[in-house]
Structure 1
Amino acid sequence: MWKRLDHQPKIKAGDGPQAGQFKELSSARGPVMPHPLELAEFQSFQVLEDISHHIKEVGGQLVKKVNAVFQMDITKDGKTILQWTIDLKNGSGDMYPGSARLTADTIFTIPEPVFMELVLGKMNPQKAFLAGKFKVSGKVLLGQKLERVFKDWVKF
């Protein structure tokens, strides 16, 4: 939002603001997601891209086994830094950045360090969920099917 610094009583046609006549009052809220160049800083971004490539290769098989849409909200300091959707319900499967285009069956809200431990198999997902390390909304039991996808990716 801008505020005029000088107060001209009359403005003639063709007169526009001159340089320095406006000052910024407040900055607009920044986007929820970081700038694309900053995404490379997050380990989870690189992992999610790898999983995305894997899903593009074997998605058809996974759709038959999983039949669900998952949304992953990766957080840092309580703020969402990454959001990805894993669609293993439609077509030959897909994984893309952003919120689910269709209704997600399950939404995971996971701090980045916990996400990394989960996908690398260093943490048991059920124990982590019960310990409150991440949140799940929607069909919680479908998370077990997603665990298989991550295990397949780790072997890949």
Structure 2
Amino acid sequence: MWKEMKKKCLHAKMKTAEETAASELYMALVVAPKNPPAKAAGLQSDVVFEEIGRRIREVGSQLVQKVNAIFQWDIMSGELMVAQWTLDLKTGSGEIYRGPSRQSASAVFTLSENDFMELVLGKVKPQRAFLGGKIKVKGSILLSHRLEAILKDYIKL
């Protein structure tokens, strides 16, 4: 009888352990973030931002005087952010860097890699992309007009 009770107790413990493990696995899957940060390699937008950086090193202080703003780009692939760049034309002689703005951004642009490249290559006008919902802007949309004029002058890929 003791053996039988011991066997049932052991069986119950194993069943409980299995249920606990299954429950923990389920919770890990359910609670896991649906959009973990990702870093996509070899994005075309990276080349553009690197070129902007090169040009800022050449004439950044002039741009800071003209623009006096900080712009951040969130480059998306579906619901997943694949790159984030900040163009600081407010402090020092200007700089561009990967990641979120260190200070409050004057404008944050959220758009897909494809839409960004179409803008840069002149295949679509910024106003049309904005009105078509391809670009989302947080902050001062008026400052984006200054940025548009600067990018036309300084991005020649």
| Bucket of the pairwise TM-score, normalised by the shorter protein | 0.7 to 0.9
State whether residues 72 and 105 of structure 2, in contact with CA within 8 Å, keep that contact through their aligned partners in structure 1.
yes
Structure 1 stretches of at least 4 aligned residues deviating more than 3 Å after TM superposition: 25-31
State whether residues 120 and 154 of structure 1, in contact with CA within 8 Å, keep that contact through their aligned partners in structure 2.
no
Tell me which protein shows more helix as a share of its residues.
Answer: 2
Secondary structure, counterpart of 1:32 in structure 2:
coil
2:38 is aligned, of 25, 33, 53, to 33
The whole-number CA distance in structure 2 between the counterparts of 1:132 and 1:58 is: 32
Q: Give, in angstroms, the shift of residue 43 of structure 1.
A: 0.7
Secondary structure, counterpart of 2:117 in structure 1:
helix
Paired residues in the alignment total 131
Match of 1:17 in 2: none
State whether residues 38 and 80 of structure 2, in contact with CA within 8 Å, keep that contact through their aligned partners in structure 1.
no
Match of 2:141 in 1: 140
Q: Give, in angstroms, the shift of residue 106 of structure 1.
A: 0.4
Q: Show the 5 A alignment for 1:36-75.
A: 38-40=40-42, 42-75=43-76
State whether residues 74 and 109 of structure 1, in contact with CA within 8 Å, keep that contact through their aligned partners in structure 2.
yes
Secondary structure, counterpart of 1:152 in structure 2:
helix
The whole-number CA distance in structure 1 between the counterparts of 2:122 and 2:64 is: 22
State whether residues 45 and 113 of structure 2, in contact with CA within 8 Å, keep that contact through their aligned partners in structure 1.
yes
Secondary structure, counterpart of 2:62 in structure 1:
helix
Q: What 5-or-longer segments of structure 1 have no aligned partner?
A: 1-24
1:129 aligns with 2:134: no
The whole-number CA distance in structure 1 between the counterparts of 2:58 and 2:98 is: 17
1:95 aligns with 2:96: yes
State whether residues 76 and 83 of structure 2, in contact with CA within 8 Å, keep that contact through their aligned partners in structure 1.
yes
* TM-score, scaled to structure 1: 0.75
Q: Give, in angstroms, the shift of residue 103 of structure 1.
A: 0.5
State whether residues 60 and 92 of structure 1, in contact with CA within 8 Å, keep that contact through their aligned partners in structure 2.
yes
Q: What 5-or-longer segments of structure 2 have no aligned partner?
A: 1-24
Q: Give, in angstroms, the shift of residue 143 of structure 1.
A: 0.7
- C-alpha RMSD over aligned residues: 2.2
Match of 1:6 in 2: none
Secondary structure, counterpart of 1:99 in structure 2:
coil
Secondary structure, counterpart of 1:96 in structure 2:
strand
Q: Match of 1:129, as an amino acid? A: F
Larger Rg: 2
Secondary structure, counterpart of 1:60 in structure 2:
helix
Identity in percent: 50
Q: Match of 1:58, as an amino acid? A: V
Secondary structure, counterpart of 2:114 in structure 1:
helix
